[in-house]
Amino acid sequence: MRVSESVALVTGGASGLGAGVVRTLVDQGGRAVVLDLPTSAGQEMADDLGDAVAFVAVDVTDPDDVARAVPEAARAHGRVDVLVSCAGISSGQRIVSRDGTPRPLEHFRRHIDVNLVGLFDVARHTVSAMTGNEPNAEGERGLIVNIASIAGYEGQIGQASYGASKAGVIGLTLPMARDLAVWGIRVMAIAPGTMDTPMLATLNEEFIDKLVADNIFPHRLGTPGDVGALVAHFMENTFLNGEVVRLDAGLRLTTN
């Protein structure tokens, strides 16, 4: 599919990686719908980018809200060709405290609800809309791009909740692609490394510097624009399917 002829729904699109995806696709002539919390800067972003962007408020952890918001988002530009799921949370916490007290179960449950269950819920409603698309010459009707993390492979101390949720996203990729092949809908995932986003604020500066130093090359933070460029490539290279692509400058996380 061509970026310039496509409409993308982007969860978490009002900030961070999601905003980078929206801006990249619009810069290349595409249209987008920002799906984000009512308290986000989604409407301001849509106002700033003009008619190519609409905003629909949603809480991805509320099934009724998702069931309302996705059809509304699909109507904003008359169709939906791509879903990019960037909505997510990351909060570090060890499984037990220093005195051996178990941490609240809610910390784990919240990460799974937002990063995995919410992602799946939005995807199933979006796929339902995509099935009505007229297939292109290759029989393609749509593309799903889920944002995972290298923490899903190499989670660090305090990342049990986050790492497990992102490992779930990674594990979802191939079976979802197999499930949706009959409709001509591809599924890809991106596992970003150390990215320059608000979520990075959960880590201390010394740890961030170490991670960047451990990049093979280049020795810099990744950017939302890097993610947006990869999404655009996924859209236009239809031979990519059922795969997780690490976007991490060769970084491999260790416990050292």
Kindly list the catalytic residues: 162
Please, what is the Cα angle at 221 between 165 and 189, to 5 degrees? 35
**Residues 6 or more apart from 101 whose CB is under 8 A from it?**
none
E strand spans, the chain: 7-11, 31-36, 53-57, 82-85, 142-147, 185-192, 243-247
Q: Where are the alpha helices (DSSP H) in 7-159?
A: 16-27, 42-49, 63-76, 105-112, 119-130, 151-154
Those residues whose C-beta lies under 8 Å from the C-beta of residue 180, and which sit 6 or more positions away, are: 127, 144, 186, 187
Which DSSP state fits 61? Answer: T
Would you say 189 and 170 are in contact if contact means Cβ atoms under 8 Å apart? yes
